[in-house]
Amino acid sequence: MKAARGLAFTPVPLAAAARGAVALALPLLAGVWTGAVIPAVIAGIGALWGVSQDGSDPYRMRVRRLACMGLAAALGLLAGELALRSTRAGAVTVCLVVAALLAGSVSLRGRVASVSGMHLLLGVTIGSGIPVPGPWWQPPLALLAGVGLVVVLSATPWLWRRYHIERAAVRAVYRAASEALSAAGRPGAEAARRRLTAALDHAHQVMGRHLDRQVGRRVRPQSRLSTLLDAFHLAVRLGEVTSALVWEGRPLPRSVTEVPLMMAARLLPGTGVAPAAAGRGTAAAHLVAPHTGADSPGLGALTALYARIGRAPDGEPAPRLPDQPWQGRAAHLRYAVLLAACVLVAQLCAELLHGPRGYWLPMTVAFVYKPDFGPVLRRALHRCAGTVVGVAAIGAVVLLTTDTYALIGVVAAFGALMAVGVRHHYGLATTALTAIVFVMVDLLGDHRALYAARILDTALAAVIVLAAHFALWPSSAAGRAAAQTETALAAAHRYRDLAPEAAPAQRHALRRTAYHRLAEARRAAAHAHGEPSRPGRTLPDWEAAITAGERLCDAVSARNLAVAGAPSMRPVPGCGGSDAVGE
């Protein structure tokens, strides 16, 4: 689930909310109508987890993530169920600890691995905590059916919106470039350039598979994909030009700042990009030329870039963004051991407090202890707050009605809320998840009043996680920020040193890698500052070093364009013998 973001600044995902409502209500309605309530609830749990991972990325990436998550959850559910049915003392506890070790060992290796590892552990907690009658193979298949429903609902728009997500991502790069040019020479210029980097990173991610196809020469010329790839390649070059213009530090007229929007309107027609200058049919060269001087290679490069539209592609391979694990092997091992220890303590506490069906404690640990998803403290606090609000909400609903169809309607409403929450705020998603789980448990026949118990369980699980994490691994976020910053500065230096002699494709790859690493380092630094540090310890000023690295890259971009278009240009600070960020 994503870190907190302001609801007021991003649109509400109505389509995802509708999918969440349908995916959670449909299995429960089918179970009530057919009498197979228990398999329907298990399918609803699968749909619930599917909704939590139903993103807005390209359809193939969604399907891959949901499929891996579903298979891991079904495997965990089967393992937990078999441990529970064995009736052997300690079988459930051993199964949970082993699952936590497996989940922790893979969870820091990337987004799909992280999601799969977490849901493997969640599957074990549900399978070992909720006894389900019937054949052993039925619950895993029901869970997969619920995940499959989300896959169908999420991926069906591919039939008529095949490249819609990719087009939107590439279009966002041109819009961000226009905003960065508008901010040039003003206080917000560097922040606008960072937003351009983020837009380029996102476009790179969603275009990754298509870039591989292009390298394999399987893209038909003049096809929609070919046009989209051309637009992306020009966007990569536009990033270099925009960085150079931002570094020059002079305010630009509107006729110049609208050129990226004019490019988008020509490259991606029908995308809604309609700059004022494009409406007058003015050529970019006529807009930029009056402002182009011998000391402004960026403006000349912008004119030349616009002139490339419509030309045959140059055949250069696309730059690729490097993959980087969350941390090294030692961090993976430490996290796996700490997660297993937290799950063990939570399970022992659950057995002492609740006996059977004490799954809430280890389940909460699995949700909370995800350092790769954001600061652990903030996640724990949002989990506790969301649980309290969710319990209060479902308690108020039960006071008004206990009608089965009314409760299913409430599940649909909270399913829509959860789809919004996973994109905007973890606490909001937790509120919805808590209410949904209470209704599902009630449909399974467990009518105990567990409102206060679940709040206390959530708080206890949060305390267990926070105590283990900050007592035994207090420097995890700071260590990652330091390592990411060092890697990012090395990439910036590599771009500075190799770019002058590099071919255009290699130069673009070096530049994109440097900016991508710097953006990752900035996020890691923000993560570290979001975690409490030991008293008297001051964290290094990573942001200052990262900012210096970004300015160095901007200067190198300006120098590259100066060398290409005006060899007699003045030297660029930070690109000679001295270093803008130090060695």
- Summarised one tens digit per residue, pLDDT across range 77-91 is 999 999 998 888 789
Q: What is the pLDDT of residue 120?
A: 95
Rg (CA), the chain: 26
Chain centroid to Cα 138, Å, comes to: 33
Is pLDDT of 187 > 50? yes
Q: What is the pLDDT of residue 270?
A: 64
- CA distance linking residue 197 with residue 164, whole number of Å: 21
Q: What value does the mean pLDDT take over residues 150-157? A: 91
Q: What value does the mean pLDDT take over residues 246-273? A: 82
Indicate the pLDDT class of residue 186, thresholds 50, 70 and 90. Answer: confident
Instruction: Locate 501 and state its tokens.
Output: 């002699």
Is pLDDT of 578 > 70? no
Question: Which secondary structure element, helix H or strand E, spans residue 237, and what is its range?
Answer: helix 224-248
Indicate the pLDDT class of residue 574, thresholds 50, 70 and 90. Answer: very low
- CA distance linking residue 347 with residue 567, whole number of Å: 69
- Summarised one tens digit per residue, pLDDT across range 422-468 is 988 899 999 999 999 999 988 887 767 788 889 999 999 999 999 99
Instruction: Locate 261 and state its tokens.
Output: 């929007």
Helix, strand or coil, per DSSP, at residue 320: coil
Is pLDDT of 40 > 90? yes
Q: What is the pLDDT of residue 296?
A: 72
* Mean pLDDT computed over every residue of the chain: 83
- Summarised one tens digit per residue, pLDDT across range 354-395 is 766 678 999 999 999 998 888 889 999 999 999 999 999 999
Task: Look at 181-190, 260-269, 275-284, 521-530 and tell me which has the smallest mean pLDDT.
Answer: 275-284
Show the 3-state SS of 261-290.
HHHHHHHCCCCCCCCHHHHCCCCHHHHHHH
**What percent of the residues of the chain are helix, what percent strand, and what percent coil, each to the nearest 5?**
75, 0, 25
CA 469, 471, 476, 478 dihedral sign is positive
Which of these, 546, 532, 483, lies nearest to 375 by C-alpha position?
A: 532
- Summarised one tens digit per residue, pLDDT across range 104-113 is 888 877 788 8
